[in-house]
Amino acid sequence: MSDDTVTPLNSGIENSAASTTDIAQLMEENRRLQEELDSERKSDRKAVRKFRQESDLKPYQAELIRMQQYLERSGMRMVILFEGRDAAGKGGTIRRVTRYMNEKHYRVVALGKPSVEERTQWFFQRYVRQFPRGGEVVLFDRSWYNRAMVEPVFGFCTDDEYANFMRGVTGFEKDLVRQGTILVKLYFSVTREEQAKRFERRKSDPLRQWKLSEVDVQAQERWDDFTNVKYEMLRRTHTTHAPWTIIRSNNKHLARLNAIKVILNSVPYERLNNELNFVPDPEVVVSGARELEMMEAQRLQMGKFKD
């Protein structure tokens, strides 16, 4: 027998090893493809869910257009305040409220730090400068209530400035409403755990990193401080002429839907579609008075507040 016809004794072992390697590679490739497929399916389900949620909002967004037309015809003025902790969902709700509204008849106002000149003026002056004309809606993404929440927690105002604000704000709002402005005060309430999750997403998502500020970084550390000033704000500024409405906002979609319902219910316009359900979900929408009761009960039971 010639050398070329001799089979090496170890050839079967080598072939077996190669076969095992190929199987392992195939299994790893299959695992990777399955992960990609699962990710695509998850992404598809998320896209479908988001599409359905946005579709659910559309009939109510049409009502907002009808409401806006009523304000234009009647010449009435409307101010909506969006307050709450960082990452509570204020901005996303504002975008859903205004998405289809006539841009000529609404404005979103998000004021930054006051200028040197503004610091010498009456505190409410720079907000009054932004107030609506007849037939217009102004939505404040944070408002004069910065002085009741953020400023005292971070030391951006003195104790006297805080005390003066708390004494004067109810009279200011009473006069605003007495002279015909529709005032809606919304406070978006998110749990500590959910806020932490949203901050983590801001850190890891390049499209959301711009939202993360130094104040955000300290928000979790100062949770109890914010809860205490929230309680004082509700206790002293929830009034019959300018009540607070609390929006539970862990579920962003339900918060947006119910906030829109609250806004629509505050204006006596003729409904576009009477078959829609305009009643807010009591699990999502809570009156300021009821929120105070629950916070006081929690304080008695636990010795501290939860949001």
Confidence check: pLDDT of 211 > 70: no
Q: pLDDT by residue (tens digit) across 126-141?
A: 999 999 999 999 999 9
Residue matched to tokens 């009473």: 174
Which CA distances in Å does 41 have to 28, 34, 48, 51, 52?
20, 10, 10, 15, 16
Rounded to two decimals, the pTM is 0.83
Mean pLDDT of 160-181: 98
**Top-confidence residue, 141 or 23:** 141
* Per-residue pLDDT tens over the stretch 32-48: 888 877 777 776 787 88
Tokens of 132: 């609506």
DSSP-derived 3-state class of residue 138: strand
Is residue 220 a contact partner of residue 170, using CB atoms and an 8 Å limit? no
Cα angle, residue 65 at apex, residues 142 and 58 outer, rounded to 5°: 90
Percentage of residues in the chain with pLDDT exceeding 70? 89
What pLDDT band is residue 307 in, cutting at 50, 70 and 90?
low
Q: Rounded mean pLDDT of 270-291?
A: 97
By C-alpha distance, which of 253, 252, 259, 245 is closest to 198? 252
Top-confidence residue, 195 or 16 = 195
Judged against a pLDDT cut of 50, whether residue 9 lies above it is answered with no
What residue ranges define each of the domains in the chain, with the CATH number in brackets? 11-302 (3.40.50.300)
Angle between helices 11-74 and 90-98 (to 10 degrees): 60
Find the mean pLDDT for residues 138-158.
97
Q: Which string of DSSP letters, residue by residue, matches 153-221?
A: HHT-S-HHHHHHHHHHHHHHHHHHHHTTEEEEEEEEE--HHHHHHHHHHHHH-TTTGGG--HHHHHHTT
CA dihedral 94, 100, 101, 106 (to 10 degrees): 40
Q: What pLDDT is stored for residue 202 in this prediction?
A: 84
